[in-house]
Structure 1
């Protein structure tokens, strides 16, 4: 597996998928996400335990992702037919709006560096791509612990702010909090970040 996708261009892909919003199968490709903020979110398998909680959490925040002009694509190695059955039978996935892609040949999981070769499944890998198709953030975890969708939304807000303004966002930053204007005051700030922001402000 590669060590990181960060700063790399989105791998090209084409996959069959189940569009839960319409209830139909379709084909998705990396070209569909050009020029958009995009989340590619891998999970190990349908009909497991932590996976539906993560998908449901992302779905519950779907409108917030849309307000941030951010597309979401969930991916596992299961078939599109498995995805359809999974959505239809798992109570947590009622009213799902997401599209779930089928990486049946495991090539996309491998390209993103999250394939567990000996098991033939993907790790919990979540990747954020900017409109230029460059990965700016990733989170990869093993099976037993689910990811935090609220923290991921915060990261998207921070990346979009930093991209728009040229400022950088300190630890724990969220909209309305203080940023670091390195784009205009880098020389003054060098070695003196504590003159601009306190640990109390960072943790508040």
Structure 2
């Protein structure tokens, strides 16, 4: 069943961010755009490359009013340990949520039940706490965080311009479409 258009389920979790532990809840998402980036585990191989890539886009995403959260089934303590020991992960300034209960991971339908680890899932959540995009990759396929910037811009444009949609490869400032009977079969 698709999660698109569904409100994020209630949750409360601890995260590591900028040298301290913080609490993150579903209410923390309200009033801003959010990205949830699920990954299998700390101290692994593809995961640090993805999280570093996401950090490279973090300033741009913040300018767009987006908060970023990485999530694995590790604890917030493990996130701190990884942050303290890895040069790559030590660069991360966004929140790293621990989900050892697997509640959040399961509610986003990215829990690999056999392994007890998250799949590589990326979700864009609007300021009302509603999921607008979902992408899930197999464990060996890393993600490209630069694609999130245009997806966020498109999601924000559609939200702010009812009746318009963004076509494939849409970039900020380019033409949008206004679905109507006149367009049927002409694109």
Larger radius of gyration: 1
Q: Structure 1-normalised TM-score?
A: 0.87
CA distance in 2, matches of 1:163, 1:189: 21
> Aligned pair count?
186
TM-score, length-scaled by structure 2: 0.95
Instruction: Quote the RMSD (CA, aligned, Å).
Output: 1.2
The C-alpha deviation readout for 1:108-135, integer Å capped at 9, x for no partner, is 1111101111110010111111112111
Q: Is it true that 1:134 corresponds to 2:153 in the alignment?
A: no
The answer (yes or no) to whether the contact 2:13–2:97 under 8 Å persists in 1 is yes
SS at match of 2:48: helix
In the alignment, structure 2 segments of 5+ residues that lack a partner are: none
- 1:145 alignment counterpart: 141
The residue number in structure 1 matching 2:93 is 97
Shift of 1:29: 0.7
Given that 1:76 and 1:102 are in contact with CA atoms closer than 8 Å, whether structure 2 keeps it comes out as: yes
Deviations 1:66-104 (A, max 9, x none): 111011111101111110011111121233211101101
Provide the C-alpha distance between the structure 2 equivalents of 1:51 and 1:135, rounded to a whole number of angstroms: 23
| Greater share of helix | 1
1:11 to partner: Cα distance: 1.3
- Confirm or deny: 8 A CA contact 1:41 1:125 kept in the other structure: yes
Residue 112 (structure 2) aligned to one of 106, 111, 116: 116
Alpha-carbon displacement from aligned partner over 1:154-182 (angstroms, at most 9, x marks no partner): 11111111111121111111112221123
**Counterparts of 2:110 and 2:2, CA distance in 1:** 10
Q: Give the whole-Å Cα distance in 2 for the aligned partners of 1:151 and 1:75.
A: 19
Q: Does 1:190 align with 2:184?
A: yes
Which residue does 1:179 correspond to in 2? 176
Q: Give runs of ≥4 in structure 1 deviating > 2 Å.
A: none
